[in-house]
Structures are given as structure tokens and as C-alpha cells.
Amino acid sequence: MLSTISLVVAGLSTGHQIGLAAVGACFIAFALISAFVLPRRDPNFPGKNMPAYIAVCVLFFIAMISAVLIFGRESKGAAAAPATTTSAPAPTTTSSTSTTPTTTSAAPATGDPVAGKAVFESAGCTGCHTLKAANATGTVGPNLDQLKPAFATVVHQVENGGGAMPAFKSSLTQTQINNVAAFVYSSTHP
């Protein structure tokens, strides 16, 4: 559970992390003060001020939910950038090479799918993604069997991360990244 939360937080921009942390800190401070400090100072707390206390509680609840909805989503600019990057290579490859078998065989040739399966399993990809070839049934990330991503898309996503997915550029070698991409590509493009 904590690893999933850290993956989600890692996918957020710094500004969104700060916004969520600030609202969360205010919510926690209010809860601690109203649970420990105010009852000690006034044993009848909230007493006659019950309607005001309930209103403040509701406002904090709305603020926290709003912060999650606003700060908890990936910015549209960051989500659109990989989409344009991933869709650009496919038409270029298709227009320069009119036969699709050449494109299919050229893409996975830059990696070893067998070695990629081992990296896919050891890097924790099975915990987040669904991929039949790896017996993976994760639901945090997209279902790769349905998505059928292009080789270049997988390489880009593994290197840079996005959404809830962390970047693996610093923890995996380029050969390992290419192998994972070859495994995913060859598994989803029979």
C-alpha cells in the first residue's frame, strides 16, 4: 500500500506535491488541535460552539477533497507531451516504410524480449501492470495487453515515467530498458 502511494506521489509535479502537503498539514494540525489542545483548555469543548465546529470540520473536509481533486491529477501539458511524442514516430515509420512487417521486426530487434521479461518481473512492473505474457495482473498502471504500446512508447515511459509510474532511467541501464520494451512490444504485437 505504501509503495503504491509513493508511486502516485512520485508521478505528481513538485507544485502539486507542495499543494497537497500544505492542505494536508493544515487538516492534520486542525485535527490535532481540536483533539488535544482545545479540550484541555475547555473541558466542555465544543459545547455551545458545536455548530461552528461542525462548519469548520465540513470546510476542512471540502478543502481536503478539493485539494486531492485539483492537485492529485497530472497536468494536461505533461500528459499531452508523451502522447504527441509517441504518436509522431509511428506515422514517420509507416510513411518511410510502407510494409508493416518490416516495422514490426525492426522495433523489437533493439532489445532481448527474454531478458526483458526478467527485468519486467524484477523491476516491479507486475505489481502495477496487467500483461498476460508475464502473468501480471496489476491495476495501478494501464493494461498493456489492451494498450498495445509501440516500442518507442515503452522506452519513453520506462525512462521518464509519468502519472503514477516512476522514471527508471537512473535505476535501469539502457540495455535493460530496451529489453523491457522489446518484451512488452513482442508480447502485445503477435
Query: Are residues 56 and 86 located together in one domain of the fold?
Result: no
Query: Are residues 55 and 98 located together in one domain of the fold?
Result: no
Length reported for the chain: 190
Query: Are residues 124 and 179 located together in one domain of the fold?
Result: yes
pLDDT in tens, 7-20: 555 555 677 778 88
Give the total number of structural domains in the chain: 2
Asked if pLDDT for residue 108 goes beyond 60, the answer is no
Domain boundary among 71, 96, 122: 71
CATH of the domain at 121: 1.10.760.10
Min mean pLDDT across 50-54, 70-74, 135-139 is at 70-74
User: What angle, 0 to 180 degrees and rounded to 10, lies between the N-to-C axes of helices 174-188 and 113-122?
Assistant: 100
Point out which residues pair with 136 in neighbouring strands: 131
Domain boundary among 71, 91, 119: 71
pTM beyond 0.85: the answer is no
Full domain range(s) for residue 184:
76-188
Query: Are residues 83 and 174 located together in one domain of the fold?
Result: yes
> Which pLDDT score is estimated for 30?
92
Asked if 60 and 27 touch (Cβ cutoff 8 Å), the reply is: yes
Buried/exposed code over 58-84 (b: 16+ C-beta within 10 A; e: otherwise): eebeeebeebeeebeeeeeeeeeebee
